[in-house]
Structures are given as structure tokens and as C-alpha cells.
Structure 1
Amino acid sequence: MKKEKKSKEKKVSGLERKKAVWGIVFVLPSIILFSIFSFYPIGYAFFVSLYKKELLSLESPKFIGLRNYVRLLESDSFWNSVIATLKFAVGTFVPMVVFSLLLATFILGRKRFQKLFQVVYYSPAIMQSAVAALVWLIIFDPRSIANQFMNFILNTKGVDYKWLVNENMLVLSTIIVYFWKYIGYFTVLFLAGLASIPREIHEAARIDGANRFQDFIYITLPLLKPTTTLVSVVAMIQCLRTFSTQYLFVQAGASVKPIEVITLNIYHTAIRDRNIGRASAMSVLLFIVIMILTIIQLRVSRSEEVQY
């Protein structure tokens, strides 16, 4: 009997090893590609940030240590980019997470046209960022829909709200574009999370006397915590990495200073000023900030596995 048990254990362990080996074989190409296109650029950016290097220059890079980082921290342009990024991220992140959850709850509560609502809300997400920005540039034109809509809502006549001229309105314009483009994507993520919660739990809560609001607060939100964490992390990263909208707005004639987020500053530093070393240092700082915020979010939301 003991010999049979040992032989069975050996067979099981051998089978598990084979599964592990084949798992590594199938995953290895993805790991290699991810390393080439993600890990290598990150490491190279950190390497270049320690040098004084100009774009298209034939001179060899000069090692200057952490001087690029010191100069960034002393630069008014860099801190203006930090403030612009924070304004955009806070103004976009919070409404996007809240309204995507509310929209997902609304769609899931509909008995009819659920698929239609999903398609309608998700359709802007498949649009290229450049195309979305161009569409909204037309909308924000003084003679276009945005001013007409605001005049109708506020009961005013012929008022130009200067969407692309006034600093606060310009920041709001970029927030609106990003919100409109990505709200459907995060709504679909929340829909998947809501659909994974068994109906029996909601039915049991209603039998116990809970109304819809109590069911949402005490049942849905706690069980939706993993999805909320995923949405929060992805939305935060997207907001901090924004570039296309601000770039196209500037190209259309909008003021640079209010919407010069860090990524746009990196572009200007590298392409316009041809200072690859300092642009790489800015990229590294942005990467570190994103990593820190992601770790904080994951730790704050860390809890035991959700069990239904």
C-alpha cells in the first residue's frame, strides 16, 4: 500500500512539473516581448537621465550624475507641469470612477436595451485619442455646440465661454474630452464586476428588508472592491499619462501653460529643446510617482479574498 501511494505521489509530482515547464514555455515569449518593449526602455531612460545628451548631436553623452534631477526640481516649468497634471488627474479621476460605477449600476438595472447602452457608452473608447480631441476642438469652437448648449442651460444669449482661451475653461475642456472618451471603458469593467455578484445575495438582502440603497452600500460596494481597485489603478495611470488631448489643443492654438502636463513637457524638452537627458529624468520621476501611487492604492484596498 505504501509503495502504491509513493508511486502515485511521484506520478502527480511529475505531472505537476511537466505542467509548470509547459506553462513557462508558453508564457516565455510574452515575458521576452514585455521585457524588450517595457523593462528595457525604463532601464535605458534611467541610464540616459544620468547623462547630458542632446538629440541628433554627434557628441558623446557626458556623465553628470543626478544633475538633471536637481535642475528639474529647481525648474519652474517642471513644477508648473506637476500642478497641471494634478489638476487634470484629480478633475478626471474622481468623476470618472464615480460616474462609471453609477452608469454600470444603471445599465445593469435595465431589463431592456442593456447591450445598446453598453455599445453607446463604450463606442468613444475605441476612437483614437487624436480623433476624439479633433472632434471636441470643433465642438468647443465659439460658433459651435458647446457655447449654444451652455447658453441654453444658463439661459444666456450669445455668450462665448472661451473654452480654449480662458485658463480654467481650457483645463475643463481637456477633462471633458478625457472623461467622454474613457467613461464607457470603465463602465464596462464595472459591469463585469457587478455581473459576477450572485443574484441570490441581493435576493437574500431584500428578504431581510434591505432597500435598494442599503443593498448597494452594504452588499454591492464591499463585493465590488476588487473591481473598484482595478478601475482606480488603471484610471489613475491613464490620467497621469495623458498626452494626445493636450498636445492637439496646443497645436490648435490653445495656451500651453495651463495644460502642459508632465508628458507634454517631456515631449517639448526632448523634441523642441533636444535635451534627451532631462526628458528621460522627467520620465523616470513620472514612472516612480505612478509606481508609488499604485502601491499605495493596492495596499489601502488590500483585504481578504471576496467570497460569495
Structure 2
Amino acid sequence: MAKTEQMSGRKRDERIAGYVFSLPAVALLIAFLVVPIIYTVYYSVFQYQVMRPNDITFIGFENYHKLITDSDFWISLKNTFYFTIVVVPVQCALALILAMLVSKKFKGVAIFRTMYFSPQLTSMVVIAVLWTVLYNSNPNTGLINALLVNLGLEPINFLTNERTAMNSIIFMSAWQGAGYQMMIFLAGLQGIPRDQYEAASVDGATPWQQFWFVTIPNLKGTIKYVIMITMIQAMKLFTQPYVMTQGGPRNSTKTMVYYIYTQGFQKGNFGYACSVAAVFFVIVVAMSLILQKITSEE
């Protein structure tokens, strides 16, 4: 009886200790996620100009009605979807290829892992400024166009042409972000038992068959996680258009987060910016649930 009471007391102490240790994380989650969401939804039904903080008028769903008829909103939503649909498979595929390359045991492999991961250690602002210089349309200052001219080709207006601006940002973003996903895939690859590959090899499986029937099934959970976090990060695209193109040319790189920023902090339409943010939050959550349903294991 005494032993039972001692065990129950120990479990109670462990439960209390768990609550105490998780309290700071829960407090931060509420302060920096739950509260901002509540305030965003609250201010979305008000006419609130930042330059006139004392002039707040309740207007109901007028901001949402304006949002439906706002062409800039639909342009930014289209650009965000385009960026996400293209960059997610490209970046994930690149990360998986890099992970498979550096998962091999050879001399100097740690150097290659560091090289591929190093863009993650640099601020996105710095990366964006660097690639802006690389993309410069003037061959005298733009390194990529200088190379094209030396090869006898015409220079390309990477960031000043609406047909190439977003694709240029996609290429840069996939290069910058692949290192992080590479490390996640690398951890998954190292967890696959080697005897599975040996058994497949004995059965006469080609390297491609081993990849498709051994590697991919063992990485299902990892692939699902990587696709999910990459999609969420892609939907939040802001720094690259802000630094490299300012949403141009002709709004071809204006994304949802950039549009929220311009409405709330440049034009001062804080109430309308909150309504856009609220709708955007619902869209991201819905896409996450749909993606989770599609990629769920049977």
C-alpha cells in the first residue's frame, strides 16, 4: 500500500514538473501567436488608420468586402501560390539530391555538408542583396550577365522583366533554403538500415529501384514534414521581393505578406491589413490541412 502511494506521489511530482517546465513555452506561444491572432481578427472589422490612432470606427465586414473586389489582393495571392507551387517541389527535390550525395562516406564529406548548409547561416537580407548584384542587368556590374555576354549571349533583365522576376526569386530561394531541408533528409537517410539496401542489391535491384522501393518508403514521414515546412515558409515570402524588386515590376513579385506590409505600414490602412492577414491565415491553415490529408500515410 505504501509502495503504491509512493508511486502515485512520484507520478504527481513528475506531472507537476512537466507543467512547470512547459509553462514558459506555453506563455510565449500565447503571447506571440494566440494574442496577435485575436488582435488581428479584432481590428479587421474596424476602420483604423495608423496616422489617426484615436479615430477607430467599427465597420463590420466592409474590409472583407473591399478585399474581395481588390485586384491587388488577387494578384498578390496568385503570385504567392505560383511561388509556392514551383519552389516547394524544386527545393525539396534539390535538398533530397544533396542529402543523398553527402550521405556517402568519402574523404572531405563534412566540407561539402558545410558548404551546402552555409547559406542558411547567412541573413536572408544579405543573400537577397548579393543576388540582386548577381542579377544586375548591366554586364559591367551583374556577374551573371557578364558571363552571358562573354559567352556571346544577350544579357537578361532578371529582376526588371515581369516574366523573369519571380522565376529569378524562385531560383535564388530554392538555392538558399535547400541546405536546411538537406540536413533533415540526411538525418532520415542515416536512419535507414543498410541491410535493406544489401538485400535489395542481392535481389538484383538497380540503384533507381533501390531509391524508389527502399529510400522513398523509409522517408515518407520525413518527406511529409519537409514538404509541410517548405510550403509554410514559401507562403510567407517577403524579404526577397522587399529587397530585390519592391513587389515589381508591375506587381509581378508582390506577395501576400508584402501586400499586408504595404497596406499596414506604408499606407497606414491597419484595419484593412488585418483583414487581409486574417484571410491569409485561414488560407495557410486550409492548405496545410489539405496537404496533410494528401500526404497522409495509408
Specify the alignment match of 1:148 in structure 2.
146
Confirm whether residue 290 of structure 1 aligns to residue 284 of structure 2: yes
Q: Using the alignment, how far apart are the partners of 1:149 and 1:225 within structure 2?
A: 41
Confirm whether residue 46 of structure 1 aligns to residue 44 of structure 2: no
Q: Using the alignment, how far apart are the partners of 1:93 and 1:146 within structure 2?
A: 24
> Could you tell me how far 1:250 is from its partner in structure 2?
2.8
> Could you tell me how far 1:135 is from its partner in structure 2?
0.1
> Could you tell me how far 1:8 is from its partner in structure 2?
4.3
Specify the alignment match of 2:174 in structure 1.
179
SS of the residue corresponding to residue 234 of structure 2 reads: helix
Specify the alignment match of 2:223 in structure 1.
228
Confirm whether residue 133 of structure 1 aligns to residue 128 of structure 2: yes
Specify the alignment match of 1:3 in structure 2.
none
Name stretches of at least 5 consecutive residues in structure 2 with no aligned partner: none
Q: Using the alignment, how far apart are the partners of 1:244 and 1:100 within structure 2?
A: 21
1:244-283 matched pairs, under 5 angstroms? 244-251=239-246, 254-283=248-277
How many residues are paired up?
295
Q: Please, which of 187, 201, 208 is the counterpart of residue 192 of structure 1? A: 187
Structural RMSD (CA): 1.8
Confirm whether residue 95 of structure 1 aligns to residue 90 of structure 2: yes
Q: 1:256 to 1:22 in 2, by over 3 A?
A: farther
8 A contact 1:85–1:261 mirrored in 2: yes
Confirm whether residue 36 of structure 1 aligns to residue 31 of structure 2: yes
Specify the alignment match of 1:18 in structure 2.
13
Letter in 1 for 2:272: R
Give CA deviations for 1:254-283 in whole Å, capped at 9, x if unaligned. Answer: 525100111111111112221001111111
> Could you tell me how far 1:151 is from its partner in structure 2?
5.1
**How high is the TM-score relative to the length of structure 1?**
0.90
> Could you tell me how far 1:9 is from its partner in structure 2?
4.3
8 A contact 1:250–1:256 mirrored in 2: no
Q: Using the alignment, how far apart are the partners of 1:199 and 1:213 within structure 2?
A: 16
SS of the residue corresponding to residue 293 of structure 2 reads: helix
Letter in 1 for 2:251: K
SS of the residue corresponding to residue 258 of structure 1 reads: coil
Q: 1:256 to 1:269 in 2, by over 3 A?
A: farther
Q: Using the alignment, how far apart are the partners of 2:225 and 2:148 within structure 1?
A: 35
SS of the residue corresponding to residue 245 of structure 2 reads: helix
Q: Using the alignment, how far apart are the partners of 1:227 and 1:284 within structure 2?
A: 30
> Could you tell me how far 1:205 is from its partner in structure 2?
2.2
Q: Please, which of 47, 53, 57 is the counterpart of residue 52 of structure 2? A: 57
Letter in 1 for 2:177: Y
SS of the residue corresponding to residue 41 of structure 1 reads: helix
Give CA deviations for 1:1-37 in whole Å, capped at 9, x if unaligned. Answer: xxxxx55444333322221211111011111012101
Identical-residue share of aligned pairs (%) = 28
8 A contact 2:45–2:58 mirrored in 1: yes
Give CA deviations for 1:68-111 in whole Å, capped at 9, x if unaligned. Answer: 11110111110111111112112211100111111111111342
Q: 1:273 to 1:207 in 2, by over 3 A?
A: same
* Higher mean C-alpha deviation, range 166-175 or range 7-16: 7-16
Letter in 2 for 1:148: A
